[in-house]
Each structure stands twice: as structure tokens, then as C-alpha cells.
Structure 1
Amino acid sequence: MLSRFRRGSAVAAAILAAGLTLTACSTTSDDETSASGEKITIATNTGDVEVTTNPERVVVLDNTAAETVKAFGVTPVAIPKQLLQTDELEDWTDNDDIKDVGTHNEPRFDVIEDVEPDLIIGGYRFSKYNDDLKKVADSADATFIDIAASDDAEGGRVAAMIRQTEILGKIFNKQDEAKQIVDDFQAKLDAAKGAATGQSVFLAVVSGGKIDNGAKRISPLTDPLDVKDVFAGGGGDLHQNSGLTPEAIAQANPEWVIVMDRDAAVEPSNGEEAKPAAQVFAAQEAFKGTTFADKNQIIYLDPQFYLREGIQCYGDNYQAIADAMGKK
């Protein structure tokens, strides 16, 4: 359960070792730029929705879409500030003019109503409230959309993130900017694909100062890559202890470990002060003699990974994987 959120360091400092098909259609052709205020139809996770382009008052609830919306130069009227406490979104979270709608655990629908939105971008962590948010949108004469990428989307999460970006580009008349975001992402993904050549990996999460299986959250990142999870993707619920021990990890002896430091973004639920993931790994006597420890083949993902998770975040971490594996 998300509690208080923490703003972490930049991605570079963290690298110690180196649902549905979301296609968009509109009344204009793909190479045309729709005019401000034009009606277009997009395919969302809840069906086709008619959207007015260039909405002025936007509520952004989906953290995976937030950085793209910001890159388009859009300033929302309301966001879940604790959920977006990252370096990339500091201009939003520190802006008193942007209202705080709470978190997905305790959303404040009254705030969303009060800001009189034109568009509500929901989904992902807020997906369980889709029906409620649709009612809020209807009462405010606004539009609600859920275009968040999901793991079971056609082509997987990565392909869905690309479609999400392209749809947002059409909504905000920022097709060129959306294409640049996708092109940058694709270049980083291709670099990671070039470096990942069948290596065995353990997908780890550090939570509450303990190392556990993080496959549930990390495997969408590694699915496009030629790496072999030593635990075959089993386990990995971030909110439960799978019982995986350091000795079992050592016995599996992966060539590489890819680590998500949940404690860097969310304070441990046990109330203890968070220890950096690198410190937790270094303290494990069981890891002595393993391939990943002896060769220092541990990749620490962006410390904000748990809160970001959008196309920019995935691109940053693909580049980190490429930089680390490409040197070996």
C-alpha cells in the first residue's frame, strides 16, 4: 500500500553496475494536425470516446501519462500530488495552483469536481474508480478517458505505451512532440535489445529493507529483451512476502540482477528508515561467490521507477540496461 512518497535522485546516480489495443482515430488523417476544439474519437480501455482537442482544464490521475502531458507544455488543474512526487514532475507537485486530489487509496472526487475539468485522464492505479470518475466527468460536462498501458494489452505494455503517447499527441495537437518521445524511447529500447543477448537475470525488489522477487513489476520492462528470469517470472507481488531467501537467490546464481528500489520511492511500511538497495545487497553474505556479485553485475533501476512507470521512465531504464550489459 502506498503511504508517504519520497523524491529520489536522478537516474544516473542509481546505476551502480554500469489492455486493450489503444489505437486512435479521428476525423482527420494521421498526418494532419487537428484544429483546436475539434472533436476526435479515440479507442480507450473502456471503449471509443469522443474527445475535444486541446482541452484547457485537465486533471491527470494516471502517473504513466503524466510526463508526456508535461512534455507537451500542459499544466493540469489537479493531480494526485503524492503519487507524482518525482524529480520530473516537481514543477507540478510544488505548484500551489494545481490542486491535490489525494491518492488512489483515498481519492478526493470533490476536488476534481471543484476544478471544473474539461478532461480527466484516469486509469492505471485509478482504474478501479473508472465508473466513479465517469460520473464526475458527466456531471461536470467533461470527458473521462482511460488510455493507460496494461501488461495484457496487445503487444504488451511497451507497445501500449507507444499507442498511449500517440493518442495523447492527437488530443493535445502535439503529434510531432509525441513522435519525438516515441523515437527517443525506441532508440533506447533498441540499445537494450542489442545488449541483452540471453543473459540470466533475477528481477529483484527491495522493500522494507528486504530483497524479494520483483518480477510482477519489472517483467513488463524486460519482456521485450532477450534475458532469462531464473525464477521464470514466478511470484513478485510487491505487497506480500514471497518467502524468497538470499540463499535461494544465490543458488539460482543469475548472471545479472535488475533491482527496483521501492523504498527509494515509498517509505517502508514497517516504519524503519529505508536503506538504499545497494546497501541491502552488499550486506548479504549469501551472495559472496555468485556471478552477479563477483562481477558487480547489478543494475539498479531509476529510484523513481515505482512512481513513474511511463514511456520516459522505461526509456531511461532501457538505456541503463544497455549501458551496463553493453560493457560486459
Structure 2
Amino acid sequence: MKRFSLLLIISLFLIVLAACGSSAESSEGEDAEGKETNETVTVNHELGETEVPKNPENVVVFDYGIVDTLDTLGVEVAGVAKGNIPSYLEKYESETYANIGSLKEPDFEKIAEVDPDVIIISGRQASVADQLEEIAPTIHLGVDTTRYMDSFEENMATVGEIFGKEAEIEEELATIEESIASVNDKAEENEENGLIILANDDKISAYGPSSRFGLIHDVLGVPAADEGIEASTHGMNVSPEYVMEEDPDLLYVVDRTAAITEDDSAAEEMVENDLVKNTKAYENDNIFYLDPDYWYLSGGGLASVTEMIDEIDASLE
């Protein structure tokens, strides 16, 4: 009987000990809901290598393409750069989300007040990345237009890893790849060339392959009317005479004025002048005014890239 009691006591002691060990292990690796804590993700980005927390709670974002992506994935953000938020993301104008400044002038005081776990930027904020890094880990997830899809997919994979949305990202990218393949087939069948211009008040700039809007040529397969356009952020300054001389089959117009103001009618009047009316694009009703929310403000997001592909798809019907 004594031996049995001793064995019982030892067994109970071992059970309690095991439970304590399991509890300690859980508290170090998981929270009360079983989620990992203190885990980090190493992000390699344009500005270097940065450790960011896994599943960060307080996230501030300057890049609207990333806001678009997080919105698609159902990931909440604490603050965004307000002022030129795309209309389809207008919910972020709400006071629910902190205003962290403009795209060119971050509000460092407000960002510090939010106390973010991670700050996500793109090109316009690169020059102040060091200052932002003093507040929280800062990563650059802007799209490299010289390698658009590779860069976009890398950014999406990074977002998926940080927020535990790998499966959702994989599914979204698979759908996008299917759409791209379909548009490429149409572009090859049509054999029509295209010219991309940005309308900005009374000025126009042309963009070609590897440029800000080079997705049309490099990824979607629409041949460029002018292969000699130098790739740059601001495009090549051109005139209506240039557009007439290049005589594109398809003319794609991104209206910057409409993107940053409420005036969405000026570009058509300026672009479709007497010279441009001599082009095949005008004669065949093939001038397409692309949605500036997607093309100018929020390119590089899951929703925006999908819509951009759909717009070019529709232009090839």
C-alpha cells in the first residue's frame, strides 16, 4: 500500500512538472490565443535588410499599393498618408486611421504617437527612411518598374510572410498570372502598338518599356509605338506633333490632374486636339483614359494590378 502511494505521488509530481514545462514553453513561444510572439521576419528590400515583427499590430503605410494589398487581405492599419488617397480606398480618410502626413512630408510626431511596430514606405519617402527607422523598423516596398512583376511578386511574398497570409497571396497571384497570360495572347493576336502618355495640366509626357507605366509593354505584351523612350519616373516631355508622328494604334492616357484634383475632364480636351485627331488611335476610337487611381496613385497592389490588367484587356477587345 505504501509502495502504491509512493508511485501515485511520483506520477502526480511528473504530471505537474510536465504541465509547468508546457505552460512555460507556451508563454515563451505563444500568446493566450496560441499565436506566436516575439517572432520576427527578415525583410530584404531596396534600402537593406530589416527585422520586423511577425503579425505586427500597429502598422503605418505610405505606399497606397500596400494599403490596397492589406485592405484586400483584411489586415488593419493604424495610419496612412492622407491627402491623395485613391477613391476606392476612401475609408482610410476616416478618423479611425491616423494621418501620418503626406507622401512627400511625413508627420514624424504623429507617427511616433501611433508607436508603430513597422513602417512601410516607397520611393517618395526613401530620403527620410533613416529618420523613420528611429521610430520603428522601416521597409521599402515600392515596385521596381524595370522588373515590374518580379518586384511586385516579391513585395507580395514579403507581405504574406509578415502577416501570415502566404496562402491568400499565392491564390491572388495565381489569378493575376492567368489574367496576364490571357492579355498577352490578345496583344499578340491584335498586333497593334501602343503609346502611353501622362497628361499633366497642359503638358504631356510619354512613357515606354521599363518605365512607370511600362507594365503595358513589358508584362502585358502591347508593342511600343516608340521603342526609344528613355525609362524615367517623369517620362519624356513630348508634344501633340510627336503623338501624331508616332501615330499609335492604341493611345493610353493617364490623367495626373484627375488623380490629384477633382477635375477629370481636362485631359480629354487637351489630348484630343486637331493633331492627335490624325492618328489611327483617334480614328479607330482607340484612345483609352486609364483610371489614375490605379495607375498613378496605387500601382503595385493586389487590387490595383488586377484592375490595371483588366483595363488593358478591355482595350484589346
Please, what TM-score do these two structures have when normalized by structure 2?
0.79
Q: 2:279 aligns with which of 273, 287, 290?
A: 290
1:86 is the counterpart of 2:76: no
For the residue of structure 1 that corresponds to 2:222, the secondary structure is: strand
- What amino acid sits opposite 2:245 in the alignment? Q
> Residue deviations 1:22-52, cap 9 Å, x none?
xxxxxxxxxxxx8465223232223332222
In 2, Cα distance between equivalents of 1:175 and 1:302:
29
In 1, Cα distance between equivalents of 2:228 and 2:254:
15
1:257 is the counterpart of 2:255: no
Q: Rg larger in 1 or in 2?
A: 2
Contact 2:205 2:234 in 1 (8 A): no
Cα distance, 1:279 vs structure 2: 3.4
Contact 2:201 2:267 in 1 (8 A): no
Cα distance, 1:299 vs structure 2: 2.2
Aligned to 2:196: 203
Contact 2:207 2:236 in 1 (8 A): no
Q: 2:166 aligns with which of 175, 188, 192?
A: 175
Give me the CA root mean square deviation. Answer: 2.4
1:131 is the counterpart of 2:130: yes
Contact 1:218 1:260 in 2 (8 A): no
5+ unaligned residues in a row in structure 2: which ranges?
A: 1-34
> Residue deviations 1:194-235, cap 9 Å, x none?
221242211111110443324443124431233332232525
1:281 is the counterpart of 2:280: no
Q: Which has the higher contact order (CA 8 A, sep 6+)?
A: 1
Task: Map 1:108-257 onto structure 2 (within 5 A).
Answer: 108-137=107-136, 143-152=137-146, 156-197=147-188, 198-215=191-208, 216-234=211-229, 242=237, 244-257=238-251
Q: 1:300 aligns with which of 289, 294, 299?
A: 289
Judging changes above 3 Å, is the alpha-carbon distance between structure 1 residues 321 and 177 closer, same or farther for their aligned structure 2 residues? same
For the residue of structure 1 that corresponds to 2:204, the secondary structure is: strand
For the residue of structure 2 that corresponds to 1:232, the secondary structure is: coil
Q: Once superposed, which parts of structure 1, at least 4 consecutive aligned residues long, lie more than 6 Å away?
A: none
Judging changes above 3 Å, is the alpha-carbon distance between structure 1 residues 308 and 49 closer, same or farther for their aligned structure 2 residues? same
In 1, Cα distance between equivalents of 2:164 and 2:200:
40
Contact 2:59 2:118 in 1 (8 A): yes
1:310 is the counterpart of 2:303: no
For the residue of structure 2 that corresponds to 1:228, the secondary structure is: coil
Cα distance, 1:274 vs structure 2: 5.6
Contact 1:75 1:92 in 2 (8 A): no
Judging changes above 3 Å, is the alpha-carbon distance between structure 1 residues 276 and 191 closer, same or farther for their aligned structure 2 residues? farther
Aligned to 1:9: none
- What amino acid sits opposite 1:227 in the alignment? V
Contact 1:214 1:260 in 2 (8 A): no
Contact 1:38 1:53 in 2 (8 A): yes
Aligned to 1:65: 66
Cα distance, 1:317 vs structure 2: 1.6
For the residue of structure 1 that corresponds to 2:77, the secondary structure is: coil
Structure with greater helix share of residues: 2
Cα distance, 1:166 vs structure 2: 1.4
- What amino acid sits opposite 1:39 in the alignment? T
5+ unaligned residues in a row in structure 1: which ranges?
A: 1-33, 138-142
Contact 1:213 1:237 in 2 (8 A): no
Cα distance, 1:58 vs structure 2: 0.6
In 2, Cα distance between equivalents of 1:241 and 1:222:
16
Contact 1:202 1:256 in 2 (8 A): yes
In 2, Cα distance between equivalents of 1:238 and 1:169:
28
- What amino acid sits opposite 2:79 in the alignment? A
For the residue of structure 2 that corresponds to 1:226, the secondary structure is: coil
Instruction: State, as a whole percentage, how many aligned pairs show the same letter.
Output: 24
Please, what TM-score do these two structures have when normalized by structure 1?
0.77
Between the two proteins, the alignment pairs up a number of residues equal to 277
Cα distance, 1:116 vs structure 2: 0.8
Aligned to 2:5: none
Judging changes above 3 Å, is the alpha-carbon distance between structure 1 residues 114 and 224 closer, same or farther for their aligned structure 2 residues? same
> Residue deviations 1:274-301, cap 9 Å, x none?
634333333x111234211111112221
